[in-house]
Structure 1
Amino acid sequence: MLREVEQRWPDYRQVPYGLYPFPDPETVFVPEQAELIEHLQPFFGIDLSVVNPEWSGYLTMLGPMEPTEHQFVGQATEETSWHSPLLHTNWIGFKVEEGRYRLMGDPRYFFLHADNQHLADPYVEARASLLEMYADQKAAYEAAKKLYQNSGRLFSPSALAENIPLYDVERMTFVEQIGGVADYLKFPISGLSLSYVENEEHGVTTGYPRSPAGHLFHHVASVPAHHYQSWGADLIMMFYEPVEQLVLFTFYWEAREDEGYAGY
């Protein structure tokens, strides 16, 4: 009975099988895009065979260091030509090449990219606010990583960065969901098409993002951003498309009291 309960409601405060927290950042991106580590933090690696026995290899869950509060990932460069079908507001896509990620679009998508210094602030004090946010995100991530390496546990990164006594710091789960289907109602607005599949046995409809070539993206894992850094999306969802070996991240935001809506 206990084993059945553990399988149905796993305690993700313990590192689950096939998940590897805080992977080596130098192994994430293709060499010519190594600078992406300045904008995206690697939360964990995951063995794809845990999700689907027919898959092999590893993927890395990433957390973007942007945006600032009341903004969205990629929103600061919406008025540029840096966005693309798999790289636009609240969606980031990669091609997997020999286990590493290649961004499916222009790296200048990230407002603080070195080649964007000429861009005017898209909102008040955008650049200064993002620089401060990046510093906070990195500090919180490193604090959580250091304590994990010493204890094997994951604690609230923002609390650790603020030097709150450990007995008052909340333990975090390493992941919220592995495999299964994602809640398509949490998908932000996108130019990508969605495919809906109804389970004949249970009558439940599930939604899948579809690649520009028409292939389905399947859910791999989801986790709130604040489990590994100081702030970010309420849920980061990672998907995999095995035909072209594409990885897609999307970012869900809870409804905000001052704006009255969720997502984008």
Structure 2
Amino acid sequence: MPSSFRQEFELDLTQKIKIKNHITLLPDPLMVFSANVDEHSKYLFPLFSIDLRIINPLWNETLHMLDFNEDPYNIKTVETFNEYCKEEMIAFELIEGKYKFMTSFNYFDLTPDWQEWFEETKSNYYRIKKYYNENGSLPDKSNGESPNIYEQIGGEPDWIQHDATPIDPQGNKMTFICRVYTGNYTGYSCAKDIYLFYSDSCNLAVLLYQID
């Protein structure tokens, strides 16, 4: 193995280990939601928590990557929309490292057809979480490969579609934290790429998704 390649491999491995030390997989909802934990947990599935010091050493804060299902065919949910909770996007006020959903939970109301997809996602999530609790890892993919626990951490987001970087209430671009492919956590029926953004000055976390 050429020395330059070996050094690059070792640096990459060291970085991956460093990142992994800042991530908690499939955290307990009590560590994720600030209040109404049962209500949050009906609709929101915690995939991992991330220590933001991996992004900025001055940020002694924790954010949470979640999977969520909205029904694109339920036109009544538009009544719950606001600047940060709308089609393909949800947001949370960050309170001491925990999330408070920033609109009514009616945002997640489902039509009967979409309810089936939601139940499948929910079932897959708890099945994979049970496997993780028993084995300490996510289950391998059908081809035998280990799944990625994340697609990106920090830097500039690789968009599946168009640039959708949210703007915080002060008019600033929010900081990209990470991206995940949900198929590795909740199955492939409603799989999507979810992007997590953060505003330190506004205590705001935004999750938005795109589908290939």
Segments ≥4 residues shifted beyond 6 Å: 9-15
Counterpart residue number, 1:27: 31
Structure 1, unpaired ranges of 5+: 113-126, 160-167, 190-207, 255-264
Which whole-Å CA distance do the structure 1 matches of 2:94 and 2:177 have between them? 14
Which whole-Å CA distance do the structure 2 matches of 1:128 and 1:14 have between them? 44
Which whole-Å CA distance do the structure 2 matches of 1:177 and 1:217 have between them? 16
Alignment of 1:145-224 (within 5 A): 145-155=129-139, 170-183=145-158, 186-187=161-162, 208-224=165-181
Q: Indicate yes or no: 2:211 matched with 1:253.
A: yes
Which whole-Å CA distance do the structure 2 matches of 1:13 and 1:134 have between them? 33
Which whole-Å CA distance do the structure 1 matches of 2:183 and 2:132 have between them? 15
Which whole-Å CA distance do the structure 2 matches of 1:219 and 1:186 have between them? 16
1:78 and 1:89 in contact (8 A); partners too: no
Structure 1, residues 7-47: CA drift from partner, whole Å, max 9, x if none?
Answer: 44789699822011010012222213640211110000111
Change (3 A) 1:224 1:136: same
Alignment of 1:1-264 (within 5 A): 1=4, 2-8=6-12, 16-32=20-36, 34-67=38-71, 71=72, 76-77=74-75, 80-112=78-110, 127-155=111-139, 170-183=145-158, 186-187=161-162, 208-231=165-188, 232-254=190-212
Indicate the SS of the match to 2:53.
Answer: helix
The alpha-carbon deviation at position 61 of structure 1 amounts to: 0.4
2:121 and 2:186 in contact (8 A); partners too: yes
Which protein has the bigger helix share? Answer: 2
Which whole-Å CA distance do the structure 2 matches of 1:187 and 1:243 have between them? 26
TM-score (norm 1): 0.69
1:13 and 1:174 in contact (8 A); partners too: no
Q: Give the superposed CA RMSD.
A: 2.8
1:13 and 1:153 in contact (8 A); partners too: no
Structure 2, unpaired ranges of 5+: none
1:237 and 1:249 in contact (8 A); partners too: yes
Structure 1 residues 227-236 or 20-29, which shifts more? 227-236
